[in-house]
């Protein structure tokens, strides 16, 4: 069974909701999933024991949240070659989520993670995003 870990930042809950929807999709595909908020996750090294890593942030001032950026700096110390990355981001402006996803991807590129899905959402995730998640995350990707 594949093992996934999802780590996200949130202030008002939108990104948390998106993280939980991604968790449900992975579980439906037979993956075991652990989920954490960035500031409550301390054991950076343990990320190496997962096959799939989910990383997500809201947009703050056109960038990913500051605490999440700091968290990714620590992730960047790891060699995660061969592991799969699912990126997600939320924002109020439709241009923001794709930008945040791209920023996350570029930031963690030194780890060697392979991006398999990028999921952006404007503000609060609704039922429509479920379809997008279903299409974006498929069993044959891992
Ligand atoms: C301090 C602050 C700054 C924000 N800056 C932006 C921004 O620059 N661009 C944008 O599209 N949304 C911005 N937003 C909106 C949030 O990114 C958006 O509502 C997001 O879904 C919130 O996620 P959360 O509920 O997980 O905190 C900002 C929100 C806050 C609280």
3-state secondary structure the chain: CCEEEEEECCCCCHHHHHHHHHHHHHHHCCCEEEEEEHHHCCCHHHHHHCCEEEEEEEEECCEECHHHHHHHHHHCCCCCCCCEEEEEEEECCCCHHHHHHHHHHHHCHHHCCEEEEEEEEECCCCHHHHHHHHHHCCHHHC
In short, whether 3's Cβ falls inside 6 Å of ligand 1 is no
CA distance 120 to 102: 10
CA distance 78 to 18: 25
**Ligand 1: residue whose CA is nearest its atom 22:** 58
Summarised one tens digit per residue, pLDDT across range 34-47 is: 999 999 999 999 99
In short, whether 15's Cβ falls inside 6 Å of ligand 1 is yes
**Ligand 1: residue whose CA is nearest its atom 2:** 60
With beta carbons less than 8 A apart as the criterion, state whether 15 and 123 touch. no
- Residue 118: which pLDDT band, with cuts at 50, 70 and 90? very high
Average pLDDT of 14-29? 98
In short, whether 112's Cβ falls inside 6 Å of ligand 1 is no
Summarised one tens digit per residue, pLDDT across range 44-94 is: 999 999 999 999 999 999 999 999 999 999 999 999 999 999 999 999 999
Question: What's the predicted TM-score (pTM) here?
Answer: 0.98
Summarised one tens digit per residue, pLDDT across range 124-136 is: 999 999 999 999 9
CATH number of this structure's domain 3-141, picked from the four choices 3.40.30.10, 3.20.20.70, 1.10.645.10, 3.40.50.360: 3.40.50.360
When computed from its CA atoms, the radius of gyration of the chain, rounded to whole angstroms, is 14
pLDDT given at position 95: 98
Pocket test for ligand 1, best of 10, 56, 60, 65 (most atoms within 8 A of CB): 60
């Amino acid at each position: 069974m594949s093992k996934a870990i999802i780590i996200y930042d949130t202030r008002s809950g939108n990104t948390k909701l998106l993280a939980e929807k991604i968790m449900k999709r992975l579980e439906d595909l037979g993956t075991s999933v652990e989920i954490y908020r960035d500031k409550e996750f301390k054991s950076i090294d343990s990320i190496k024991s997962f096959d799939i890593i989910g990383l997500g942030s809201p947009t703050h001032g056109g960038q990913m949240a500051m605490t999440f950026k700091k968290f990714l700096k620590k992730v960047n110390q790891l060699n995660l070659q061969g592991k799969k990355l699912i990126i997600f981001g939320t924002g109020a402006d439709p241009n923001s989520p794709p930008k945040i996803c791209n920023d996350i991807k570029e930031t963690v590129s030194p780890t060697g993670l392979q991006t398999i899905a990028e999921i952006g959402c404007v503000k609060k995730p609704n039922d429509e995003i479920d379809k997008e998640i279903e299409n974006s995350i498929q069993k044959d990707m891992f």
